[in-house]
Amino acid sequence: MPEKIKLALLWHMHQPFYKDSLQGLMEMPWVRLHALKDYWGMVAMLEDFPRARMTFNVVPSLLAQIEDFLAHPDIDPLFTLAFQPVSSLTDNQKLSMLENFFQANYEHQIARFPRLEELYQRAHLSPDPTSINRLRQFGTQDLLDLQVLSQLCWFDEIYLTRDVVTRSLVEKGRRFSDEDKAMLRDKEMELLSRLIPVYRQAAERGQVELSTTPFFHPILPLLCDSSIASQSQPRSPFPIQPFRYPQDAALQLKKAVEQHQRLFGRVPSGVWPSEGSVSNAALDVISDSGFSWTATDEGILARSLGLAFHRTPSGEIHHSEMLHASYQYRNTPLRIFFRDRELSDAIGFHYSRMPAQEAVENFIHRIKSSVKLSRESSPCVSIILDGENAWDYFPENGRPFLKGLYQRLTEDPGVEMVTFSDACALLSAHERRLENIWPGSWINSDFSIWIGDPEDNRAWELLSDAREAMEIFTKDHPDFTESLCGKSAWESLLAAEGSDWCWWYGPEHSTVNDLRFDRLFRSHLINCYQQMGRTVPGSLAQPLKRQIPKRLHNLPLGKVHPAIDGRVSSYFEWMGAGSIEETQSTMHQGRKCFERVLYGWDEENVFLRVDLPEALLENYQPVDVRVYFDAGNCLVFKDVTAPQGAISVLFREEKVGAERAVNRADAEPAFDKMFEARFRKSLWPVPPEGALSFYVLLEIGGVPVERIPMHGSLTVDDTLLE
């Protein structure tokens, strides 16, 4: 192992462009809310760790929305609604509060405020989420408390600790006044106004490097030539007419550089291409735009070089010296880095369930293990991940973990924290050469999230039509581009090229806001036609998004006695069992996680069946099933797709991290076409009167990918079957 590891850590800060081109309003509040909770605090906390060095990649369209909001707060209707006098609210506005103000992480944001949890539970008593009858359950004080707590639960942990006003509101907890609400509004504006300056100050003192992304976060290779997707997706159908506008890719980068220089006083050296998406054409545009470095995922490097980065059980990586290096792209000044996927995803998806210090020590250990087999004397481990959404799942917004991590990294003599520009300089004598790169993104090393599905392809067809119309119109009207109408049309077109719309089209992702994203995409294209004075195609009035599947939960009807053999031995064996089918989470894992879960019980045992899709089984990664009891302990079924008899069963005490083997008489797993298990009720901690509760968590390759059900628990209760 080398004497010193260079650790290049990059936090990617991104939100979609939520501004409706037609109304000039923010369709959703996530820029503002994540700015309160994540964007400011992630940089502000570095003042306590002056030796820490890292890179922040801030998407230009995110910064543009923050500037827009600070100049005109009324463009965010939900911000206005949060601070409007309750006495002036209409019934529809009150219903909007109930629909929107609980869209936060239940465990770490809602449940931490007892009054907010109380209101949440009351709001979800009615089976009809739009019923006016729900409003009868909420008085004036209830709605006022909801206004305040729905904002307060998004404030950064550091700010809540340091600021006297917000801390006093947390301590008060309920029965807020209009004066309290007014003070909170001032604090929200104050924190947001600090955001851009705190990034600039951190860059000026040399602690962070600020990189950028193409302005509206487009998938650059698909702008250059969408047909490139066929190389990594040879079986996918694509639009007949490819989208080929490399000049738009260059314009997206040019606009990003101009904004960066205006806000931060310097030209960015590096660019994280949206979703780590690269191709030779995209790298050519990036290099021609003057960038010194860029980065993508290890899967892209593996396919580019024709090798695999196999990891041993202890975390050592074969070909580590190839992964943990910088590459010169052809004969250009551009350097390319490749993120260590397992280390990056460990932060994003795994460590939220571990005690902070244990997670920190595990991460440090894994960093050092990853380079043990390296033959390179100067490795650079690249950790690149989302800098916002992961913290929703951490206690205290992940701040204890981050503080512990920065403390350990700055004290460890074997690790040196560097920015990516630092790494370019330090590794110049060790860099390798890369002539061609595999076209793909950080997800599956292809572009299947954004093109290839009928919904995605239709979006590209509509975008191509609008782009072609703009091309023709601007040739016939050369002064249009510099006019107010022309600037509005071009902004809308470039916004429609962003990656976020097709992220939600297709089967991979779904959210309660699917139709809002669909509407936003079409509004950008509609505005293009309107600003040109052209007739808007009728096709843009039709949503592209297919109907969103809902959760189907059928309660158990009777006791069951299935054979635990991993297959359907009899049509009747699961008859009477409860079943649950649920839409996928919004956190992408590159696959559908499950088809269906069935559960039931008899006098002594609980039975569980998990139907897994074939695509998941073909991935050859270990699949674990965890059954969590309400007390926080769980049964762990390790590698459930292993041959029958090879599945190990552990009882884990989550709070202390202790595990012990479970006797096969108490827990019996099996897998053939599906995973089935039997486990004794006596394994549960002693429950209160009657019911036993549990939920199921699927892990793939050590990464948790789906909780079933997403919220709440499944119930084992003999009284239900009497």
- Please tell me the least confidently modeled range out of 242-256, 381-395, 506-520, 620-634: 620-634
- Please tell me the least confidently modeled range out of 148-157, 204-213, 701-710: 701-710
52: in domain? yes
Reply yes or no on whether the pLDDT at 309 is more than 60: yes
Same domain for 421 and 494?
no
Identify the domain boundary among 440, 465, 482. 440
Between these two residues, 128 and 255, which has the higher pLDDT value?
255
Measure the CA angle with vertex 613, ends 446 and 233; round to 5°: 20
Tokens 């799942």: give the residue: 393
Reply yes or no on whether the pLDDT at 687 is more than 80: no
Query: For residues 243 and 463, is the Cβ–Cβ distance under 8 A?
Result: yes
- Distances in Å between the alpha carbon of 264 and those of 199, 244, 379, 501, 524? 8, 32, 30, 29, 28
Q: In the prediction, which pLDDT does 586 show?
A: 36
Same domain for 111 and 152?
yes
Task: Provide, rounded to the nearest whole percent, the portion of the chain with pLDDT above 90.
Answer: 69
Domain that holds residue 481: 454-541
Same domain for 34 and 180?
yes
Same domain for 56 and 192?
yes
Same domain for 187 and 69?
yes
Per-residue pLDDT tens over the stretch 63-87: 999 999 999 999 999 999 999 999 9
CATH of the domain at 703: 2.60.40
Query: For residues 14 and 390, is the Cβ–Cβ distance under 8 A?
Result: no
Same domain for 521 and 571?
no
546: in domain? no
Reply yes or no on whether the pLDDT at 699 is more than 80: no
Grade residue 131 by pLDDT with cuts at 50, 70 and 90.
low
Average pLDDT for 550-560: 81
**How many residues are present in the chain?**
722
Per-residue pLDDT tens over the stretch 632-671: 688 889 888 876 567 889 988 866 668 889 988 899 998 8
Taking the C-alpha atoms of residue 666 and residue 582, their distance in angstroms, rounded to an integer, is: 29
Helices (H), 534-620: 614-617
Reply yes or no on whether the pLDDT at 631 is more than 70: no
Angle between helices 178-204 and 164-172 (to 10 degrees): 140
Tokens 């990516």: give the residue: 420
Residue 569's Cα: distance from chain center in Å?
Answer: 40
616: in domain? yes
Taking the C-alpha atoms of residue 319 and residue 329, their distance in angstroms, rounded to an integer, is: 20
Select from 268, 200, 211, 266 the least CA-distant residue to 387: 211
Q: In the prediction, which pLDDT does 150 show?
A: 98
Tokens 């965890």: give the residue: 626
Cis peptide before 50 (omega within 30 of 0): no
Average pLDDT for 403-414: 96
- Please tell me the least confidently modeled range out of 61-65, 383-387, 548-552, 621-625: 548-552
Taking the C-alpha atoms of residue 640 and residue 597, their distance in angstroms, rounded to an integer, is: 15
Same domain for 459 and 429?
no
Reply yes or no on whether the pLDDT at 583 is more than 70: no
Taking the C-alpha atoms of residue 156 and residue 621, their distance in angstroms, rounded to an integer, is: 36
Query: For residues 471 and 247, is the Cβ–Cβ distance under 8 A?
Result: no
CATH of the domain at 402: 3.20.110.10
Identify the domain boundary among 392, 415, 440. 440
Q: In the prediction, which pLDDT does 589 show?
A: 37
Same domain for 290 and 358?
yes
Side chain identity, residue 356: A
Reply yes or no on whether the pLDDT at 498 is more than 60: yes
Reply yes or no on whether the pLDDT at 616 is more than 90: no
* Phi, then psi, of 349 in degrees rounded to 5: -130, -15
DSSP character for 59?
-
449: in domain? no
Same domain for 383 and 472?
no
Most confident of 402-416, 498-512, 609-623, 661-675: 402-416
Side chain identity, residue 224: C
Identify the domain boundary among 516, 541, 566. 541
Between these two residues, 128 and 421, which has the higher pLDDT value?
421
Work out whether strand 675-680 and strand 605-611 pair parallel, antiparallel, or are unpaired.
antiparallel
Average pLDDT for 28-42: 96
* Contacts of residue 289, Cβ cutoff 8 Å, sequence gap at least 6: 250, 253, 254, 257, 271
Task: Provide, rounded to the nearest whole percent, the portion of the chain with pLDDT above 70.
Answer: 92
Look up residue 415 and give its two tokens. 């690790």
689: in domain? yes
Same domain for 530 and 572?
no
Q: In the prediction, which pLDDT does 551 show?
A: 63
Domain count across the chain: 3
Same domain for 206 and 330?
yes
Same domain for 253 and 382?
yes
Cis peptide before 709 (omega within 30 of 0): yes
Average pLDDT for 211-230: 98
* Contacts of residue 197, Cβ cutoff 8 Å, sequence gap at least 6: none
Grade residue 377 by pLDDT with cuts at 50, 70 and 90.
confident
239: in domain? no
- Please tell me the least confidently modeled range out of 254-268, 324-338, 626-640: 626-640
Query: For residues 80 and 188, is the Cβ–Cβ distance under 8 A?
Result: no
Grade residue 2 by pLDDT with cuts at 50, 70 and 90.
low
Taking the C-alpha atoms of residue 546 and residue 515, their distance in angstroms, rounded to an integer, is: 9
Q: In the prediction, which pLDDT does 590 show?
A: 38
365: in domain? yes
Work out whether strand 675-680 and strand 270-271 pair parallel, antiparallel, or are unpaired.
unpaired
Q: Mean pLDDT, the chain, as a whole number? A: 90
Side chain identity, residue 683: L
447: in domain? no
CB atoms within 10 A of CB 374: 23
Burial of 643 (0-12, 13-18, 19+ CB in 10 A): exposed
Taking the C-alpha atoms of residue 116 and residue 112, their distance in angstroms, rounded to an integer, is: 8
